[in-house]
């Protein structure tokens, strides 16, 4: 079975992990700070906090921005449930903005209309979580220009985006966002097995995220009440969580980060080959914009003449492990119990009905990709 996604691990990655295992510190040693600095060096963000998952990162990003009960957070329905759940963890209400039918990212016109309606009703969001779907950055400058007059804070959910670019800057630079969250799940741009990070250019948000990820405890005398009693002394100053990344995971991430640009180049070449080889099939291929700055986490096509379930089954029977991304969040039973229903966000729903994720990862061989292409031609012709 050719999977839709797969991690790429080599001997240098394995050696980096073994090196940590042979030394004293597995959790709070030197590797996490090194990995955080390397993320800053790569993205040009000023600060990074490594965490044990992107979901944890989204949670503390919301908390750092002061999201709580009574607040409203907007995101898009075309994402994994974590993009909305993070606001619910904070006790906030959630709403969605539909997606653009071409890019499958947040629809700028829909956002403008929804902001106008929300302003008129006096119920604006405190935070907008923007998702860079499949690795293509949203139009962050346009989003910032629309949200700034309302003092809406921005979080980039860049779980798909590390290695991609926007306006010739690396996704994660936080040029227009208050915070940016990355994922290092095995099928993402790089992996730490499980893990994530929160990037920001704000010293205040960085300090808050650090505290929240580490039980709310600190050894910094400047943050304590009263005087420190000695080098062993710590205080819990806020209610935090155990969202830390271990040194073992960070060592793998640091090794992987050195290969990131090569990984993205490989993904870009595979995406371009798909575009050329599938152009004459009854498929809607990714928007042309995607071929410029996308990190190519996913290669998504839309079926135009065939039933998705039939094509999915036929490909799996032939050993091609296609997938579907995503079931719109508002259609999940939990969110329907909050009042959302079928038809609320028709573009996202239409995309879901026809979407198919093809295999795409750096180690996908030319022969394997040729086989995927051949099977698609056989099934769709």
Residues 164 and 300 occupy one common structural domain: no
Q: Residue 24: its pLDDT value, please?
A: 76
Domain boundary among 226, 257, 288: 257
List 351's β-bridge partners, or say none: none
Please say if the pLDDT value at position 23 is more than 90: no
The answer on pLDDT for 131 being more than 90 is yes
Q: Residue 278's domain is classified under what CATH number?
A: 3.90.1150.10
Q: Find the mean pLDDT for residues 268-286.
A: 97
> 127 and 87 in contact (C-beta within 8 Å)?
yes
Please count the structural domains in the chain. Answer: 2
Residue 289: predicted pLDDT: 86
Q: Which residues pair with 130 in a beta bridge?
A: 156
Statement to judge: residues 170 and 204 lie in one domain: yes
Whether residues 180 and 230 share a domain: the answer is yes
Residue 207: CATH number of its domain: 3.40.640.10
Same domain, 209 and 328: no
Q: Do the domain assignments include residue 2?
A: no
Note whether residue 118 is domain-resident: yes
Diameter of the chain measured on Cα atoms: 75
Minimum mean pLDDT among 222-226, 241-245, 359-363: which range?
222-226
Least confident of 229-233, 333-337, 363-367: 229-233
Cβ density class 327-339: b for 16+ within 10 Å, e for less: ebbbbbeebeeee
Could you tell me the pLDDT band of residue 356, with boundaries at 50, 70 and 90? very high
pLDDT digits (tens, 9 = 90+) for 299-319: 999 999 999 999 999 999 999
Stronger pLDDT, 57 or 28, i.e. the higher one: 57
The mean per-residue pLDDT over the stretch 346-352 comes to 98
The answer to whether the pTM exceeds 0.85 is: yes
pLDDT at 292: 85
On whether both 283 and 195 belong to a single domain, the answer is no
pLDDT at 69: 98
pLDDT (average), residues 262-276: 98
Report the pLDDT value the prediction gives residue 27, as an integer from 0 to 100.
86
More confident residue, 26 or 77: 77
- Whether residue 253 is found in the same domain as residue 267: no
For 142-194, what is each residue's pLDDT tens digit? Answer: 999 999 999 999 999 999 999 999 999 999 999 999 999 999 999 999 999 99
The token duo for 47 is 């600060």
Contact present, 32 and 350 (Cβ < 8 Å): no
Within a domain: residue 4?
no
Q: Taking the mean position of all CA atoms in its chain, how far away is CA 148?
A: 23
DSSP classification of residue 230 = S
Which of 230, 257, 284 terminates a domain? The answer is: 257
Q: Both 116 and 199 in a single domain?
A: yes
What's the average model confidence in pLDDT over 45-70? 98
**Same-domain pairing of 98 and 232:** yes
Is pLDDT at 67 greater than 90 in this prediction?
yes
Residue 1 lies in a domain: no
275 inside domain: yes
Q: Burial letters for 228-260: b for 16+ Cβ neighbours within 10 Å, e otherwise?
A: eeeeeeebeeeebbebbbbbbbbbbbbbbbebb
Q: Are 155 and 74 spatial neighbours (Cβ–Cβ below 8 Å)?
A: no
Q: What is the pLDDT of residue 28?
A: 83
Tell whether 6 is covered by a domain: no
Whole-angstrom Cα distance, residue 40 to residue 92? 30
In a domain, 3, yes or no: no
Regarding whether 152 and 78 lie in a shared domain, the answer is: yes
| Stretch 191-204: mean pLDDT | 98
Q: Residue 5 falls within a domain, yes or no? A: no
Q: What is the pLDDT of residue 355?
A: 98
pLDDT digits (tens, 9 = 90+) for 107-118: 999 999 999 999
pLDDT at position 369, please? Answer: 98
- 272 and 361 both lie in a single domain: yes
Mean pLDDT over residues 257-261, rounded? 98
pLDDT over 90 at 68, yes or no = yes
- Residues 23 and 179 sit within 8 Å (Cβ to Cβ): no
Last residue of a domain, one of 257, 291, 326: 257
Instruction: Tell me the DSSP string of 82-125.
Output: HHHHHHHHTT-EEEE-PBPTTT-SB-HHHHHHHHHHHHHHT---
Pair 186, 236 in one domain? yes
Three-state helix/strand/coil letters over 169-181: EECCCCCCCCEEE
Distant-in-sequence, close-in-space partners of 240: CB < 8 Å, separation ≥ 6: 211, 212, 213, 214, 215, 216, 217
Based on the domain organization, do 147 and 217 belong to the same domain? yes
Which residue range forms the structural domain that includes residue 51?
11-257
C-alpha–C-alpha distance, residues 318 and 372, integer Å: 9
Can you tell me the mean pLDDT for 77-97? 98
């Amino acid at each position: 079975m050719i999977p839709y996604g797969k991690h790429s691990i080599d001997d240098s990655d394995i050696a980096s992990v073994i090196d940590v295992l042979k030394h004293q510190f597995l959790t709070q040693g030197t590797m996490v700070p090194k990995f955080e600095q390397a993320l800053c060096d790569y993205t040009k963000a000023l600060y990074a906090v490594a965490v044990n998952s992107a979901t944890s990162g989204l949670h503390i990003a919301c908390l750092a921005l002061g999201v709580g009960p009574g607040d409203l957070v907007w995101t898009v329905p075309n994402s994994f449930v974590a993009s909305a759940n993070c606001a619910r963890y904070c006790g906030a209400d959630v709403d969605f903005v539909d997606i653009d039918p071409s890019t499958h990212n947040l629809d700028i016109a829909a956002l403008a209309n929804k902001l106008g309606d929300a302003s008129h009703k006096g119920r604006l969001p405190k935070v907008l979580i923007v998702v860079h779907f499949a690795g293509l950055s949203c139009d962050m400058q346009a989003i910032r220009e629309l949200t700034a007059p309302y003092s809406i804070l921005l979080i980039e959910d860049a779980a798909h985006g590390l290695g991609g670019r926007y306006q010739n800057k690396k996704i994660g630079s936080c040029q227009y966002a208050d915070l940016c969250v990355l994922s290092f799940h095995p099928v993402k741009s790089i992996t730490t097995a499980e893990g994530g990070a929160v990037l920001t250019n704000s010293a205040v948000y960085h300090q808050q995220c650090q505290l929240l990820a580490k039980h709310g405890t600190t050894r910094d005398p400047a943050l304590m009440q009263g005087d420190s009693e000695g080098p062993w002394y710590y205080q819990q100053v806020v209610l935090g969580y155990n969202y830390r990344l271990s040194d073992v995971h960070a060592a793998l991430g640091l090794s992987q980060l050195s290969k990131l640009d090569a990984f993205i180049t490989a993904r870009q070449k595979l995406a371009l080959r798909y575009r050329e080889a599938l152009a004459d099939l009854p498929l809607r291929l990714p928007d042309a914009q995607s071929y410029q700055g996308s990190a190519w986490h996913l290669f998504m096509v839309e079926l135009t003449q065939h039933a998705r379930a039939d094509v999915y089954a036929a490909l799996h029977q032939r050993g091609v492990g296609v997938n579907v991304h995503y079931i719109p969040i508002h259609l999940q039973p939990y969110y329907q119990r909050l009042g959302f229903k079928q038809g609320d966000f028709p573009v996202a729903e239409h995309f879901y009905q026809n979407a198919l994720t093809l295999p795409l990862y750096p180690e996908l061989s030319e022969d394997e990709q040729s086989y995927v292409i051949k099977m698609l031609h056989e099934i769709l012709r």
